[in-house]
A and B are shown apart, each in its own frame.
Chain A
């Protein structure tokens, strides 16, 4: 019983840290984009504008929480909850350090993939339930994009599974004690990263919400708290993909010896995740958005063969004893 209470406490702490962190990420992103584009960004609320997210939250809470009369009410309310919940659930299997982590599931990697594939319902249902043309187009794009990129995401991590022999994320990290998997799985990492951006529909792959052509895509009709939930889902998604990349390819909380003693493992994990999050933001700042057919074609013509060749080569090298 005490064990269960302890777990509940751990979960509460993790959620209580993750959600404000996602909110802070909005500010970090706007500031960083500002710096990279040679302008200031939000710098008025608090020192360096650090309270900007708080002000945004207050503003969003003050907005009318509107359910359009022409929408499918129940599904309309359910959609943002599904989107945010699936991403939050994925954090249950992320090993933050050797002791911190909600569940040590034996099929942790599969659980992550399952939650990633369920998260698309949030977007698709939002698009359908809004009963508006822009939202519907956004939802359809999201469905096609996510189903395609899910395939490569699954294939790209199979190389990691092959080398570590486990679906358990903690064991995958421990297997990298004498060398991160990025060395042998660089192509896998690239594919995972691109698929991850597509799954969390961030720029440059934010076709489902492309504001130049679809107003705001699937969340055109959303306002107030429900809109905030979509935002929360997106920024949690960025954090999740970064955390999973760190776990799968960058040795999780592990560091090579002289560095390892400088900081506790959990801090190393956070540092690595933040570096990858910054990289995500840099990608968003610098890359243009492709056309939708280009996006899908790129996926099936370039990414799929690449992922398969990577898997085959890894398997062959593994069998011949090189890796």
Chain B
């Protein structure tokens, strides 16, 4: 054991160890949960923060990027909660059912829990952990290799636990609204969403905070999409440009299901969105997409592990990054086609638009194909805006910034179009237009 312990701990690693020692007694959950936390933290202690020699984190060296560990967020008081009144407003037109989380804690009294559709249950993760809900514990007991996920399991505080019974098509989207309002802190939300057979759910997760805050957010969501179900998931990262934000989505997809996931990132100093998706049933359709709009020194990493373990699933990935200033966009896409996953049709595309000479794009596609009757392809590009197109638009009267904005919209449009929910699609495009309008 001692041989595995590394000699040097960074300040952040030491800070995390101190925080865990101080908090372990007060984190939600009885002995079974505490044991899961201990085990997860043990894995972290053995390996430390992921760094550039850990292949999965090659371009996002957390050990270097995370200078210190913030204290764990305190429960929100009245003034903190008051700030959440208008949170998630950019999606106001969707009339989604809003669930409010302030500094990671579920605020039931501000959440829309009225007239729940039959077959829909919504609860708090802190309550579920305290009560030792068997289904929640079972899900948590699958150990994660990933260090960020292990840290989330060790520190998880609150989040949503949502279940949609089979055969229930929810017309209203559910929107998990995360707002950070107290003293800048470490926040570890963990949510679980279980969508029953042939059910339909549109789920939105948004994170916001006032600019200048340097929170450290490590969020995770576990999603089960049963056979014949259809789930749209959209995540919006619009936090302060000083925040550290890591989010892990773990999804198990059943047979004949449809799963669309999309991440939209404009915030954060360092953002990492991880997808761990496994096809657990035949003939499902999976669409993953994302748009990162970055400037200054922002860094956003999208890492996808898509495990085709079953027959005849189709997957499409379209990720776009617009990189201004000295920002950096990272895309790592791994597709695994298991030996029995014949007739898999998987395609992955990642494109970066470099708006400045100081911007950087890193692309790492990895295809691991163990079946012989499959179609699997990937493409990656990085380049500047086409100057000839820009001239064409300017020659028709568009000022330079407007011409660029229109071309950028067209560039990201290809990814945004993959969102099936029309209201969400329009809302995100509006957000993108706002971002483009704010470019100097």
Instruction: Judge: A and B partners, yes or no.
Output: no
Interface residues of A (CB under 8 A from B): none
Binding site for A on B (CB under 8 A): none
